Amino acid sequence: MDISAIGPASKLEKTARILVAGLILWVLPGMGLQANDDYLSMLEAEAGDTNAKSGKPADPVSHEPPAKKHYVKKSDVIQSGLDFEGFEEELDSNFSGSHLLYVKLSNSNRRRVYKSYKEDNRISAIREKIVKLLSSG
């Protein structure tokens, strides 16, 4: 092919291609920046939508077991409002360690434990009462 045969039309084509390429290169970074801005705005929108619920703070320097110190979870209390039989049953079913000691109490002391339970249904308080009554004979 004779290169000298390439006329002005081809040169125009070349120039047009260069211009288009330049335009694209000029526009592209801007589009990238726009995409970044869009991403950031969507991130912030989602952050606003996502509510982080904070809970009971944990002691950062505690050397005691967190399960005891920081949570009043369901297994830390005996269901409230039980009658005497229900209370004994609950103790037997879910707090067998405490129940083991509870059954060593006399009937009157068991009633005392039940009375304490009505005032404070935390298992720790009930255990304390049981131990106190056991040690007092």
Residues making contact with another protein (CB under 8 A): 36, 38-40, 42-44, 46-62, 65-68, 70-71, 73-74, 97, 101, 104, 127, 130-131, 134-135, 137
Enter the tokens of residue 98: 């405490």
CB of 33 to another protein, least distance (A): 11
Question: Tokens in use for 47?
Answer: 């952050």
What value, to the nearest 5°, has the Cα angle with vertex 84 and ends 82 and 90? 60
Using the minimum distance from each CB to another protein, give the nearer residue, 7 or 137.
Answer: 137
Closer to another protein by CB, 10 or 36: give it. 36
Q: DSSP code of 32?
A: H
Closer residue to another protein in complex, CB, 32/86: 32
CB 84 within 8 A of CB 39: no
